[in-house]
Structures are given as structure tokens and as C-alpha cells.
Structure 1
Amino acid sequence: MKKNLLALAALCALTSGPAFAQATDGQGPWLVRARAVHLDSANKDSTGLGLSINNKTLPEIDISYFFNKNIAAELVLTVPQKQRLSSSALGGQIGTLKHLPPSLMLQYHFDAPGFTPYVGAGVNYTRFSSVRLPAGVSIDKNSWGGALQVGVDIPLTKNLSLNFDIKKVYIRTDVAVAGAKIGTFKVDPVLAGVGLGWRF
């Protein structure tokens, strides 16, 4: 996954020169979106503890670069998100953690009258921090996984658009007690968002 992320980043750097800065229909190659996103976790757990995190709504900023009118790369960003970790086997909340889950997507934007649907696929890296769990319990603080995306931009003006977006992101961490792995907790959330985009 790390190699895939580096390769995609290198592609973005190498193709961002004037020869590839192809504005389409009088628009520039950059698109910045601000979204409100609802995180709905899959909460799949193989530890036997019945682990889950809370669902929540969070802010998201996305920066896209269009190589041509159909192909774009998008960097998905937010701020570290604090979540409650609960265990059904232990009767409720057992701790908290923060996660920072940026994703890098390669997208295809379809030609359609009056709106622009798109699909995307890429890689997610999530860093867990400020982990507060019962004594002796620990998690792997780094997660690499795939990310899938569908969405649509609906023009409001020449540069401003309304955006609807759904992503499936694969986030998981190994759980250990006294240093011994007892299973894997898969967050694997669906992220449904709505926001505005500015093309320049």
C-alpha cells in the first residue's frame, strides 16, 4: 500500500506541469471541496470483545487536480477525530482514541448533461493517537487500506458546484492484551457527505 501511495503521488507531481494543466470548458484544473460527512462504522471485531466505535458527523476538505476533463486525483483531508471505543462484552465504553484518516483517490469523471458523476479508487492511511484503553490493552496505531468512492457534482454557477459523495474506506487495527494479539477490529466505515466545490 505504501508503494502504491508513493507511485500515485509521484504521478501527480510528474503530470502537474504546463503540458498536463488542461483546463476544460474554460475551467481550471483545481477543485476544492468542503463537505460535512457522516461516518458510519462497520464495527467488525474478531477479538470476542464486541468492540465498536461511535458514529459521528465530521468536517472534510478535499483537493482535486484534473489531468484532463475526465481524470483527476483527489486528496481527502480532515482533522483528528476523537471516538469512543465500547465493548459489548465488558458492558459499555472502555476508552477513547483519535484517528487521522487521509485518503488519496484516482477518479474518473463522466460526461453528462447538467451534472458530473464520478467514481474513484485509492488508498487510505489512518494514524491512531491519544489512545486511552484499559491497562494492558493496546492497538496497532497505523492502518493502510483501500478506499472506494462514488459521487456527483451539480453546477450552481460556472465555478461553484453542489457535491454529494459516498466513500467506503477500509480501516482496521490489531488488538493485543499483554502484548499478545487477540484479534482484529475493522472500522471499515461508509462516509456519506454533502458539500460545495470551487473550481479554479
Structure 2
Amino acid sequence: MSKKHIVATVILAVFASGSALAQAFQAGDLLVRARAVNLDSANNDSTGLDLSVNNKTLPEVDFSYFFSPNLAAELVLTVPQKHTLSAGATEIGSLRHLPPTLTVQYHFNAGGFKPYVGAGLNYTRFSSVNLPEGVDIKRNSVGLALQVGVDIPVAKDLYVNIDVKKVQIGTKVSVAGAEIGKFKVDPVLVGVGLGWRF
């Protein structure tokens, strides 16, 4: 049997087991997920400095509480993440950001698969800002967050999760106290992980 046939058989087996294990979410359920998330920054800069931060993979934990079988709220948490800030190809400093995100989700039941869409707000706090003398950024950012994802049951109360978010994160940049423009990170976050229902 070829590798392609083996992979296809495994995928079909997972999907079939997911359908057999599928149970509707209920009001009061708590779904706790742990994900590995790839952060891919848009790096939109209006300062003229060609600013950018590095992309990275980071750990994430989130909690979804179900108000009904279809409606839930998700709180996304992680630890402060360190990024290198560059102007063009030159590294000019570093910073940390802590970006908790709260979304309201609508969950569908698609024959075992449990896709969802969500929208909400992100709050980001920049800290440990290390920039050239006279250069500074605004420390707080509030923006919209949009998401799509799916939970695939693989065992009783255990799910494989795939999640994609687009988050607005940005800051104002100043030199010698004068604002020179805005720097928008606005990342796409692609996460894969496991979820446990309680």
C-alpha cells in the first residue's frame, strides 16, 4: 500500500471515529484547549522607518464556556512574547507583548465536525521596550479579532483543534516626543492543538 493510501486511510478513520464520538456541546460545558500557534505579522508601517517584528511560534491556552449548544465565549491566554524590532534589515531593539483576546463564538454541528466562527476584542500590553534613545511607542493596543476554526472529536471529550485568527494589534511611534506614525503588527495566528471538554 502506498504512503498516500495509508495517509488517506488514517484520515478517513479519524473522520469516521469523530462522527461516532460526536456529542453536541451543552450549556455549561467548558472546553479547554492547548495550542501551538504560528504568529505571522502584517508589519504595516506609516512611520517611514520600514519597521517590522519577527514571526514566531508560541504556546497558547484558551477557555471556551458554552452558554448554549451553539453559543460560547472564548478567552485566549499566553505568556508575554518577546519580539525583535527591525528598521529595514537592521535590528534596532526589542519588546514584549501580552495579547489576551476575548471572542464570542457560534458553533455548528456538521456530522462529527464542530466548526465555529468568532469575533471579539484583543487587548495588547507592550512591555520591556528596548529601543534607541528618543524612540518610544504607545504601550497599549485595543483592536478587533476575527476567527474561524474546527474541533474534531478523537476520543470521549477529547478534540483536535485547528484555529485561525486575524487580530488588530498596533501602536503609535514617537521620536523625541513627537508622533511620527503608526506601526501595525495585525498578525494572522494559525493554531493547532488539543481540547478537553469538562
* TM norm. shorter chain > 0.5: yes
Cα deviation, residue 111, structure 1:
1.6
CA deviation after TM superposition for structure 1 residue 79, in Å: 0.2
Calculate the TM-score normalised by the size of structure 1. 0.86
What is the rounded CA distance, in whole Å, between the counterparts of 1:27 and 1:133 in structure 2?
48
2:167 counterpart of 1:140: no
Q: Following TM superposition, by how much is the alpha carbon of 1:98 offset from its aligned partner in structure 2, in angstroms?
A: 0.1
Tell me the CA shift for residue 32 of structure 1: 0.2
Distance 1:106 1:38 in 2: 22
- What do the CA deviations read for 1:141-190 (whole angstroms, capped 9, x no partner)? 00000000000000011200000000000000000000000000000000
Query: Residue in 1 aligned with 2:185?
Result: 187
The letter of the residue matching 2:148 is V
Amino acid at match of 1:55: N
User: Looking at CA atoms only, which structure, 1 or 2, has the larger radius of gyration?
Assistant: 2
Distance 1:128 1:116, change over 3 A: same
5+ residue gaps, structure 2 = 1-22
Match of 1:61 in 2: 61
| 1:94-122 deviation digits (Å, cap 9, x = unpaired) | 00000000000000001210210000000
User: What percentage of aligned pairs have identical amino acids?
Assistant: 70
User: Deviation above 2 Å: which 4+ runs of structure 1?
Assistant: 23-28
With normalisation by structure 2, the TM-score equals 0.86
Match of 1:41 in 2: 41
Partner Cα separation in structure 1 for residue 162 and residue 135 of structure 2? 39
- The number of aligned residues is 176
Give unpaired runs (5+ residues) of structure 1.
1-22
User: What aligned pairs does 1:1-200 form with structure 2 within 5 A after superposition?
Assistant: 24=24, 29-88=29-88, 91-200=89-198
CA displacement, residues 36-77 of structure 1 (integer Å, 9 cap, x when unaligned): 000000000000000000000000000010001100000000
Asked whether the equivalents of residues 95 and 127 of structure 2 are also in contact (C-alpha less than 8 Å), the reply is yes
Q: 1:53, 1:84 within 8 Å by CA — same for their partners in 2?
A: yes
- In 1, Cα distance between the equivalents of 2:25 and 2:103? 23
Alignment root-mean-square deviation, CA: 1.4
Asked if structure 2 preserves the Cα contact closer than 8 Å seen for 1:27 and 1:159, the reply is no
Contact 1:103 1:125 in 2 (8 A): yes
